[in-house]
Amino acid sequence: MSITCCLPIVESVYCLACARWLWKKCLYSAGHESENWGLATAEEFAPVPRLCRYVLAEYEDDLRNPIWAPPGGYGINPDWIVHRKDYDETLGRAPPYMLYMDHERRDIVLIIRGLNLAKESDYAVLLDNKLGQTKLDGGYVHNGLLKSAMWVFDAECEVLKELLESFPEYTLTFAGHSLGAGVVALLTIVAVQNREKLGNFDRKRIRCYAIAPARCTSLNLAVRYADIINSVVLQDDFLPRTTTALEDVFKSVLWIRASWKIRCSEIQGGCMLLDDYITSLSESL
């Protein structure tokens, strides 16, 4: 009889425990981790609007004839662009990016665009991760974003080294949005860890501005590189404040979407082949 009376209490405790677990996994905002951090100064925030325009410029196909330019333009001189690389040139290993010489501010800027919802390669980078899979410099990082960052570093380190040596008074800035923000954040860590490949430049010459980045490093790395990596989050922006646990839920949703798109492409391709076959057969008859 006494055991029967205790069952409702046990059930209530169990339900409360499940509710707390659900809140921690799905409703807990990652913004709580930084709610007690100090505010950025006006000097620290000053480059952000300009770099946001630079990142937006990377979405344009032709910067000499822009289509989506905001009022006042992007603030980029097309003649100062070192080069741009699209998906064909990155082979899907990284989002498209641009290397720009900001001679007005004596800054070498590498800009990486954000997630392209129509590109499976971007999903492959974003979904290539498991909790605790990859370690870097004593912390944990996003596996897919790290591989993308290392690809960009290997592709551009010689060019960056030459520019840094040719312009010793210039700073080096990495800027990106969304998926690109995660890549540049890890690219900054990779660059600092491999400064000898860039001519052993001073750490103070490098900085990073990650606009709405995906969560890509453990907290200890975020604190250790807080002097050079700046994350810019607009209020309750969804992606940057998504917890790592909830990312697994989104991974399943995105995987279903990507798989369905691939399957539809296969069906469409099969129909086209069948149509070509019927046409050829009709012509032969």
* pLDDT one-digit tens code per residue, 42-65: 888 999 999 999 999 999 999 999
- Rounded to 5°, angle at Cα 79 from 75 and 83: 100
pLDDT of residue 233: 82
How far, in Å, CA of 284 to CA of 247, rounded?
Answer: 55
DSSP letter for each residue of 231-262: EE--TT-TTTT--HHHHHHHHHHHHHHHHHHH
Least confident of 58-62, 122-126, 207-211, 256-260: 256-260
Give the pLDDT band of residue 186 (cuts 50, 70, 90): very high
Q: pTM for this structure?
A: 0.77
Cross-strand partners of 173: 109, 207
d(CA 273, CA 63): 39
Place of tokens 């620290």: 44
Q: Which of 95, 101, 73 is nearest to 177 (CA)?
A: 95
pLDDT score for 41 = 85
Q: Is the pLDDT of residue 101 over 90?
A: yes
Residue 256 has pLDDT above 60, yes or no: no
β-bridge partners, 175: 111, 209
In the structure, what pLDDT confidence band is assigned to residue 270 with cuts at 50, 70 and 90? very low
In percent, the amount of the chain with pLDDT more than 90 equals 49
Q: How many CB atoms lie within 10 A of CB 271?
A: 10
CB neighbourhood size of 97 (10 A): 28
pLDDT average, residue stretch 104-131: 90
Q: In what order do the strands lie in the sheet with 107-112?
A: 81-85, 97-102, 107-112, 171-177, 206-211, 229-232
CA distance linking residue 190 with residue 97, whole number of Å: 17
Half-sphere exposure of 37 (CA within 13 A, CB side): 13
- The three-class DSSP label of residue 177 is strand
Indicate the pLDDT class of residue 167, thresholds 50, 70 and 90: very high
Task: Provide φ and ψ at 169, rounded to 5°.
Answer: -90, -5
Residue burial 203-228, b: 16+ Cβ < 10 Å; e: rest: eebbbbbbbbbbbbbbeebbebbeeb
Tracing tokens 């057969």 back to the chain, one arrives at 281
Q: Is the dihedral of CA 12, 13, 18, 24 positive or negative?
A: positive
Three-state DSSP at 85 gives strand
The closest of 101, 94, 78, 93 to 162, measured between CA atoms, is 101
Q: What are the residue ranges of helices labelled H in the chain?
A: 2-22, 42-45, 47-57, 87-90, 120-127, 143-166, 179-193, 219-224, 244-284
Mean pLDDT of 109-130: 89
